[in-house]
Amino acid sequence: MLPLLSGDPREIGPYRLVGRLGAGGMGVVYAGVDDVGRRVAVKLVHEPLSVDLEFRRRFSREISVLDGVEGVCLARVLGSDPGTERPWLATEYIPGPTIEQHVRAEGPLSGDALYGLAAGVAEALVAMHAAGVVHRDLKPSNVILAPGGPRLIDFGIAKVLDGSTMTHTGTLVGSPGWISPEEYGEGSAGTPADVYGWALLVFFAVTGEPPYGTGRPEVLAYRVREETPDTGAVPADLRGLVERALAKDPAERPAAAEVLAGVTDAWRDRADDLAEPEADATVMIQRTWVLSPGETTEWPEPPAPPTAPALKATPAVPAVRALPAGEPAAGARGRSGPSWVHAYIATAAAVTLVAVTAIIAAAATSSPPEPFQERSSDPSAVPKALAQSAAPTRPAPVAISATPVRTGETSTGATEKTRTVPRSGGEAVSFRGIAMTLPKGWRLLRVRKDLACIESPNARGSSGPWEFACRPDAMVLKTGAGPGSWPGNGIDDPHFGWVVGSPMPCLADGSVWRDPNGSYDDAIGEFGLYDGVYADGSSLRRSSLARMADGRKAAYREWVIPCMANGQYVQKVWYLPKSKVALFVLSARPEDGKGYRRVIASVNLAGYRYAAPL
């Protein structure tokens, strides 16, 4: 990451900027954080493009499409503003090296890593193409080997620059040597161009070399149109698929869905030891992806957020934030005329928001606790100030010491700000007669007779050798959860109630993390390859009750669990001991906090055969 330049903005939309991640033909990509500390990548459009009315129209249209793209192996769009003076787009920040960086440092990919990459990129293309989006710039620097699997970034942006092959200035969209043959001609570049790019990525991952070598753009253009890469190094069960995808005629290439199915079948055939022979590609990635996250970029601390000024009876021209001399704000350069109106409106809105938040918080904290109809014990058994108490003395589960892999990155933003019941609506689902409503985009997966996984669009974690039934960042619904098994046997343990088993892995960001200094251990086997937890540093952050739709009140526990090297994470548990029903998230995502509350508030056990009477 590079430091901000003197002319760079310090804020874009709701994000505070801390550095530069890169720049391209469309704009500059900044590293930023939101108000809860979540890291994002914000692309700010170059000024010449921002005054191009045709570009702004296309940008606005494409952003509306990108918001609907949902894929496990894609970087999600978090926010945008196509109507401001300098349009911008924010996506989640994905840690880890790119394919290009990994190949340079570690060499080509093979085995599960190669098949996971091929499947992950194909899965991302299927999701994009289903939403009507074409990437058009697949290259090694646009795929990140994240801790939880491959992630395709910067998608859809090349198409925004122009819907045809050439830009207004006659410059090709894309990177020389990674452009499909039809993009050098007069035909349109659609989804087959992405499939061609997928084949080039697989070739590079296998060989470590660009498919068409290096050279001047015109030399690379000739090779792309007239030559075919030698695919002899590609594994035999993938070679035929790669060669079809490299066809010069777009009509002869397979669709992305066919590519994904072919890779999955080939991977499944070679992995005879998989417990579930019908597992899809994302499940296989979750269970086998063990690449090291690589070196972690240090993120400077962002400047403190501005303090809202006091509201005056006759407001003057309030300054939303004081900037150093010569420092522009994003979208503010060249603004003339009634700029004080925008400043006043922003200030008034901020003050109003602070006041409303204070009123809601006061009402929530002053409300008396509701009587507990179904719980395991008196909530007073857990002291209110437990989170600030001394560390427990009970021996910790096996933990793996490690040199820090990344620093400053946590998953502790799951604090529930209000106690209002989420609004109704969404998809009604049922598992064994237990009814609930899922937020838009969430899904329920029936894994076993007694267990189901509830996944949000953000759930994309991996559990490595632990092989949890659900992703660590998915909500689990478990029936038959008696006092002899977790979480029933730990719901009243104020120190180690979060321990599912031993050893416990670090689940920061919903995934297990490789320990670069770890090794296979005779006592704990391959678990020794992964980062562990610092059990003595764990704390029970919240112990309360949660009301459900049928009037039941579940015991609610929220733990903060630090890792040996990779920050910390939050575990949430809701438990009905009499009905023996548990819902929990091993590694809760802050952005899913509202969704968790909405699901819990909608739970109704009226149709569950073994529900305890109210």
Residue 565 CA to residue 186 CA, distance in Å, equals 53
* pLDDT 10s digits, 298-317: 666 666 555 444 333 333 33
Mean pLDDT along residues 268-286: 68
Residue 239 CA to residue 233 CA, distance in Å, equals 8
- Return the pLDDT at 53: 83
Residue 286 CA to residue 168 CA, distance in Å, equals 43
Identify the band that residue 364 occupies on the pLDDT scale cut at 50, 70 and 90.
Answer: very low
Residue 567 CA to residue 510 CA, distance in Å, equals 12
For the ranges 39-53, 151-165, 179-193, the one whose mean pLDDT is highest: 39-53
Q: What are the backbone dihedrals phi and psi of residue 347, each rounded to the nearest 5 degrees, phi first?
A: -65, -45
- Return the pLDDT at 256: 93
- Return the pLDDT at 203: 96
Secondary structure (H, E, C), 264-324:
HHHHHHHCCCCCCCCCCHHHHHHHHCCCCCCCCCCCCCCCCCCCCCCCCCCCCCCCCCCCC
pTM: 0.51
Q: Which DSSP category does 37 fall into?
A: -
Residue 49 CA to residue 168 CA, distance in Å, equals 11
Q: Which DSSP category does 51 fall into?
A: T
pLDDT at 568 over 70: yes
Q: What is the mean pLDDT of the chain?
A: 76
Mean pLDDT along residues 46-73: 80
Identify the band that residue 66 occupies on the pLDDT scale cut at 50, 70 and 90.
Answer: confident
Higher pLDDT, 348 or 281: 281
Mean pLDDT along residues 51-62: 81
Identify the band that residue 344 occupies on the pLDDT scale cut at 50, 70 and 90.
Answer: very low
- Return the pLDDT at 598: 94
* pLDDT 10s digits, 422-464: 444 578 999 999 999 999 999 999 988 899 999 999 998 888 7
Higher pLDDT, 412 or 294: 294
Sign of CA dihedral 54, 57, 63, 65: negative
Neighbouring C-alpha atoms within 13 Å toward the C-beta of 399: 20
* pLDDT 10s digits, 2-15: 889 888 999 999 99
Percentage of the chain beyond pLDDT 70 is 72
- Return the pLDDT at 147: 84
Neighbouring C-alpha atoms within 13 Å toward the C-beta of 141: 8
6 burial via Cβ count (<10 Å: 0-12, 13-18, 19+): exposed
pLDDT at 150 over 80: yes
Mean pLDDT along residues 58-85: 81
| β-pair partners for 30 | 20, 42
pLDDT at 373 over 90: no
pLDDT at 246 over 90: yes
- Return the pLDDT at 145: 92
pLDDT at 502 over 70: yes
pLDDT at 404 over 80: no
- Return the pLDDT at 294: 53
- For 64-114, give the DSSP string: HHHTT---TTBPPEEEEETTSSS-EEEEE---S-BHHHHHHHH----HHHH
pLDDT at 36 over 90: no
Mean pLDDT along residues 40-50: 88
Mean pLDDT along residues 48-77: 80
Mean pLDDT along residues 480-496: 89
Please state which of the ranges 12-16, 92-96, 251-255 shows the lowest mean pLDDT: 92-96
Residue 282 CA to residue 362 CA, distance in Å, equals 44
Residue 156 CA to residue 160 CA, distance in Å, equals 7
- Return the pLDDT at 200: 96
Percentage of the chain beyond pLDDT 90 is 38
- Return the pLDDT at 184: 79
3-state secondary structure of 262: helix
- Return the pLDDT at 339: 35
Residue with tokens 């952050």: 541
Residue 368 CA to residue 592 CA, distance in Å, equals 27
Give the residue numbers annotated as catalytic, written as ranges: 137
Residue pair 601/548 in contact (Cβ under 8 Å)? The answer is yes
Residue 297 CA to residue 164 CA, distance in Å, equals 36
Query: Is residue 248 a known part of a binding site?
Result: no
- Tokens encoding 340: 């004080």
Residue 507 CA to residue 495 CA, distance in Å, equals 18
